[in-house]
Structure 1
Amino acid sequence: MIVVWNTTQQRRLKMNLKIYRQLAKKHGVAAEEIRRDMHSALNAAYEKPSRTPESIRAQSAVLRGANVPTPEEFLRHAVREFRRRTEKN
């Protein structure tokens, strides 16, 4: 199977890798460890039985393909939300 990436997907991948690398450098760990820790934190947050209505509302705003977003899906949402809020001001 051959996967063809469009320009938008390539840009997102590069952006995610850059974010992982920057965080890894800042914390003195490998980029894969950053992604793994993000994945664990997202699983814990979305599967927490005592979520508040506010956290449920915030989590439902994140576009995702499954019950829990991937780190890439979460980063895409965070960047989009950051841009929306900074353009507003």
Structure 2
Amino acid sequence: MSQVSYYYGMCCRYKGRKVRITDVAGKEYRGRIVNVDSKYVYLEQDRGFGGFGYGYYRPYPGYYYPVVPVALAAIGGFFLGAAFVW
């Protein structure tokens, strides 16, 4: 099993959950998985309440924070939200 298919399966399994992903360059992404395709995992970044990390704050229904695509081939580490302090 290649690394890409391993992370693809993992991202599909945890879709909708908060995760922390580290790429091979060491950059860290935190957010909720909103979509996964054959090349990217899409994270809705958690901006917290005023940047202090009190969870999701949506000013009105249907408003979402920017979604960030992360290439599956660039993932170097994957952690579930429960494994760290958000």
Q: Same fold (TM over 0.5)?
A: no
More strand by share: 2
More helix by share: 1
TM class by shorter-chain length?
A: under 0.3
Structure with higher Rg: it is 1
Structure number with the bigger relative contact order (C-alpha 8 A, sep ≥ 6) is 2
